[in-house]
């Protein structure tokens, strides 16, 4: 490059820098602030008043609801193996086969006392308290502490593992109990403000705030779920406490968190209060919760499935199997039907359909709308009592259902009699013996079982004081074996 060209380039660059610098020097130091209209003192005071009113509202709700929140401490006896067994080793089970869990019981056991803490809300002046079932299940001792510091013993009056709800009652007479106001969870929408109140990590009557993040969440922790998701901080110890709206009404019972660490990570879940109010009277009276039963298995309808079935509507649940001799079978429903409406409620998911059916009484007639082939059809379903088709034994921890022809076909035993295990509660006596869902119960104490009702009666007649001998078929191998299950 020549000296003349270099000099010209230097002069050009200098000119550009001079122009830009001059422009910057003439620009006010806070041009952005001047571009926007200035806030007057009146505007600022209005914002302060709004913030102050909002703060007052949160403060008022926290004070009102906190008085009805109780601190629950529980104590239960837990039994664990005293030492390892070679047949519990995964490598041994792979070599010998999983059926060995039926022939070799747990090694010697030892007992210890397990303590728990959580929350609950007072729901009436007689001392009834609503909380989570997992908080009080199998507790030997329950104690509640009120917001004013008074402490009382309590006992469980009713529990429903299928929704993880329970009601406990203060023992003895107690006056001046602050009672929570129960709201309508169906009215809550995503984005609404909510507050969670409880005793996280034992820090009594802690309050956190957030919004409703989502509705209708299903975590498959219990049989019936349509959980409210919130970003209000929920931690261990919040379980059983209220999620409330800014009216001071309880719209949910906190019961779970999503966490990779065991602590709060921005996602908590609560049971809608409407699910609780539907069964509160039965829980207070200690009655068995009665639910409606349809008799189908199914799944949510994806766009891919909808296309395959020629369905162009929104929502719906796909029926994958109709259980023989159930209300669905008698009403003419078939596998491949897409249920779109149950009574006056639209079907948006299979879990939602289950919840809606459960709310019906036995004998109630419900119009079901469904898509089949290339058109919509309707069927009148006479709802049955769920207990007639499913059996749950409290201490044993097993839920069973009827043995269908499809299951018999799958295991190659067309004349087999028994019941199929549909659910095994975690840490239950059955779970500790290695019993799993889809295993088949042939007999109880050497007496043949032909229906869920028979199974339930045989186990209930034995009582939890004595061990029960179950004859089972391992669903993975098809092999039969005996297992002794005891609550001790």
What is the structure's pLDDT at 32? 46
* SS3 labels along the chain: CCHHHHHHHHHHHHHHHHHHHHHHHHCCCCHHHHHCCCCCHHHHHHHHHHHHHHHHHHHHHHHHHHCCEEEEEEEEEEEEECCCCHHHCHHHHHHHCCCHHHHCCCCCEEEEEEEEEEEEEECCCCCEEEEEHHHHCCCCEEEEECCCCCEEEEEEEEEECCCCEEEEEECCCCCCCCCCEECCHHHCCCCCEEEEEECHHHCCCEEEEEEEEEEEECCCCCCCCCEEEECCCCCCCCCCCEEECCCCEEEEEEEEECCCCCCCCCCEEEEEHHHHHCCHHHHHHCCCCCCEECCEEEEECCHHHHHHCCCCCCCCEEEEEECCCCHHHHHCCCCCCEEEEECCEECCCHHHHHHHHHCCCCCCEEEEEEEECCEEEEEEEECEEHHHCCEEECCCCEEEEECCHHHHHHHCCCCCCCEEEEEECCCCHHHHCCCCCCCEEEEECCEECCCHHHHHHHHHHHCCCCCEEEEEECCCCCCEEEEEECCC
Residues of the chain with pLDDT > 90: what percent? 55
Q: What is the pLDDT of residues 314-370, one digit of tens each?
A: 889 999 888 878 899 999 999 999 999 999 999 999 989 999 999 999 999 999 999
What is the structure's pLDDT at 86? 52
Q: Based on the number of CB atoms within 10 Å of its own CB, is 157 exposed (0-12), middle (13-18) or buried (19 or more)?
A: middle
Give residue for tokens 């919004």.
211
Q: What is the pLDDT of residues 286-300, one digit of tens each?
A: 998 889 999 898 899
What is the structure's pLDDT at 17? 39
Examine the residue annotation and report whether 164 is marked as an active-site residue of this protein. Answer: yes
Examine the residue annotation and report whether 134 is marked as an active-site residue of this protein. Answer: yes
pLDDT band, residue 96 (cuts 50/70/90): very low
Query: Is the separation of the CB atoms in 230 and 268 below 8 Å?
Result: yes
Q: Which two tokens stand for residue 106?
A: 């747990």
Range in 36-40, 215-219, 258-262 the model is least confident about = 36-40
CB atoms within 10 A of CB 130: 27
| Among 119, 213, 239, 486, the one annotated catalytic | 239
Q: What is the mean pLDDT of residues 86-109?
A: 47
What is the structure's pLDDT at 233? 94
Examine the residue annotation and report whether 73 is marked as an active-site residue of this protein. Answer: no
Q: Which domains occur in the chain, in start order? A: 65-285 (2.40.10.120), 292-386 (2.30.42.10), 390-485 (2.30.42.10)
pLDDT band, residue 2 (cuts 50/70/90): very low
The number of C-alpha atoms within 13 Å of 222 and in the hemisphere containing its C-beta is: 21
pLDDT band, residue 175 (cuts 50/70/90): confident
Pairing of strands 480-485, 468-473: antiparallel
The residue among 291, 322, 281 whose CA lies nearest residue 126 is 281
| Among 164, 356, 439, 474, the one annotated catalytic | 164
pLDDT of 153 > 70? The answer is yes
What is the structure's pLDDT at 147? 94
Q: Alpha-carbon torsion 227, 232, 235, 240, what sign?
A: negative
| Among 134, 213, 356, 471, the one annotated catalytic | 134
């Amino acid at each position: 490059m020549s000296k003349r060209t270099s000099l010209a380039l230097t002069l050009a660059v200098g000119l550009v820098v001079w122009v830009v610098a001059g422009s910057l020097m003439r620009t006010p130091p806070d041009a952005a602030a001047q571009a926007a209209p200035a806030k007057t003192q009146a505007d600022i005071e209005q914002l302060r008043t709004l913030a102050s009113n909002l703060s007052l509202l949160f403060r008022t709700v926290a004070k009102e609801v906190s008085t009805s929140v109780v601190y629950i401490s529980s104590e239960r006896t837990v039994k664990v193996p005293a030492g390892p067994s070679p047949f519990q080793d995964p490598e041994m089970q792979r070599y010998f086969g999983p059926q060995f869990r039926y022939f070799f019981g747990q090694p010697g056991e030892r007992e210890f006392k397990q303590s728990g803490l959580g929350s609950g809300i007072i729901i009436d002046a007689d001392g009834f308290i609503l909380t989570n079932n997992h908080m009080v299940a199998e507790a030997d001792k329950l104690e509640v502490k009120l917001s004013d510091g008074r402490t009382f013993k309590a006992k469980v009056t009713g529990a429903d593992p299928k929704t993880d709800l329970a009601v406990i009652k203060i023992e003895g007479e107690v006056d001046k109990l602050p009672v929570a106001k129960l709201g309508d969870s169906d009215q809550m929408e995503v984005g609404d403000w909510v507050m969670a109140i409880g005793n996280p990590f034992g820090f009594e009557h802690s309050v956190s705030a957030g919004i409703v993040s989502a509705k209708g969440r299903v975590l498959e922790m219990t049989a019936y779920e349509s959980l409210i998701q919130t970003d209000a901080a929920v931690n261990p110890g919040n379980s059983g406490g209220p999620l409330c709206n800014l009216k001071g009404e309880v719209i949910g019972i906190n019961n779970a968190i999503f966490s990779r660490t065991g602590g709060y990570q921005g996602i908590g879940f609560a049971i809608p209060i409407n699910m609780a109010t539907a069964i509160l009277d039965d829980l207070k009276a200690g009655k068995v919760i009665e639910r409606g039963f349809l008799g189908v298995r199914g799944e949510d309808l994806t766009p891919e499935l909808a296309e395959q079935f020629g369905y162009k509507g929104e929502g719906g649940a796909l029926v994958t199997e109709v259980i023989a001799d159930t209300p669905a079978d008698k009403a003419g429903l078939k596998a491949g039907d897409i249920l779109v409406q149950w009574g006056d409620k639209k079907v948006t998911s299979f879990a939602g359909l289950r919840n809606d059916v459960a709310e019906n009484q036995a004998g109630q007639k419900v119009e079901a709308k469904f898509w089949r082939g290339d058109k919509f059809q309707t069927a009148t379903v006479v709802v049955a009592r769920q207990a007639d088709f499913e059996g749950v034994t409290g201490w044993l921890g097993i839920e069973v259902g009827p043995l269908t022809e499809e299951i018999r076909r799958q295991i190659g035993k067309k004349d087999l009699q028994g019941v199929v295990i549909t659910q095994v509660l975690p840490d239950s006596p059955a779970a500790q013996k290695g019993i799993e869902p889809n295993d088949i119960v042939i007999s109880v104490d050497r007496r043949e079982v032909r229906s869920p009702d028979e199974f339930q009666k045989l186990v209930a007649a034995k009582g939890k004081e004595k061990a029960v001998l179950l004859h089972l078929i391992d669903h993975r191998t098809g092999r039969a074996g005996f297992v002794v299950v005891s609550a001790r």
